[in-house]
Amino acid sequence: MPPEEELDVREALATGERLDEIIVRAAHDRDLLEELIKYLDDDLWTVQKNALIAIVEVIEDYEELFDPLLRKLLVMIRKSEAVPLTIEVARAIGKLSKIKPDLVKNAVPVIFANYRIGDPKIKINMAYVLEEIMRQNPVLIGNMLRDIVNLLNSPDETDRLTALNFISALGENSPRYITPFLPRLLSLLYDKDEIVRASVVETLVEVAVNSPKFRKIIKAKLAELNDRSELVMGRVRDGLNKIALAEIEEIHDESEEPEESGESED
């Protein structure tokens, strides 16, 4: 590794070419970590993004920085106009929700409020954050389930699509998070908006693949669907194939278990 003085931190962050080296050094150098935090205010979004990637890799060892980092991230997410930066900010908040849930829990209602009343850019950015929190620590969203239902029932198709993304993220953790939404999801197969119908098919397919409990009813509903939209029916065909593959893989895994047991007994 080159001597530390040869590393131009900002240039490395701007290009991303020596980001691994920065991460390794920041793990053992508090001064470098604090320098990286300052670069979260840089004028260049790529510098901000790569600084944040490095910070997130090492932040678990610096609990005293969790609160100021979260405050900084909540400011950044409101201002971000670059999708790659927005995604990294959302991931960082998601990670904090996992390693320091009580801290992020207090911010969730504020983030949801910003989604509801924000301008289009802020709504999109807050949706990224909420989705990542749901993916990383869905327990924190317990009090927001009614808000998600309201989004599913919204006359605005953007809200309905956002709710579908939220539900998909929740479903990655456990089928129990899907149960309150399943009746409404099935009814959205007949939504007036083609994009919403196609998206709900994708969401239901993911639920069916990950949750055998709901697979039978979802397969039946998709199989009987006769949508005029080729987009929707294409998603249905792909989805049924994906579900069938998941079932085949499960059967294969189950059939291998006795063979492995028999081999171990010989």
For the chain, the C-alpha Rg in angstroms (whole number) is 22
Distance of alpha carbon 134 from alpha carbon 138, whole angstroms: 4
In-domain check, residue 220: yes
* b/e map 154-175, b = 16+ CB within 10 Å: eeeebbbbbbbbbbbbbbebee
For the chain, the domain total comes to: 1
Q: Over the chain (266 residues), what is each successive 10-residue block's mean pLDDT?
A: 64 90 91 94 96 94 93 95 96 95 93 89 95 93 86 93 92 84 94 96 92 91 96 97 90 65 46
* Whole-number pLDDT of residue 6: 64
In-domain check, residue 39: no
Range of the domain at 221: 142-259
Closest CA to 221 of 249, 182, 256: 182
In-domain check, residue 170: yes
Distance of alpha carbon 140 from alpha carbon 96, whole angstroms: 12
pTM of the model: 0.84
Q: How far apart are the first and last CA of the chain?
A: 51
In-domain check, residue 152: yes
Give the H or E element holding residue 65: none
* Whole-number pLDDT of residue 265: 43
In-domain check, residue 53: no
Token output for 163: 């709710």
Instruction: Spell out the residues 6+ positions from residue 127 whose beta carbon is closer than 8 angstroms to its own.
Output: 115, 162, 165, 166
In-domain check, residue 1: no
* Whole-number pLDDT of residue 141: 85
* Whole-number pLDDT of residue 130: 96
In-domain check, residue 203: yes
Could you tell me the CATH number of the domain that includes residue 250? 1.25.10.10
Closest CA to 154 of 125, 116, 97: 116
Q: Computed from CA positions of residues 140, 146, 152, 156, in that sequence, does the dihedral angle turn out positive or negative? A: negative
In-domain check, residue 215: yes
Q: Are 157 and 128 in contact (CB under 8 A)?
A: no
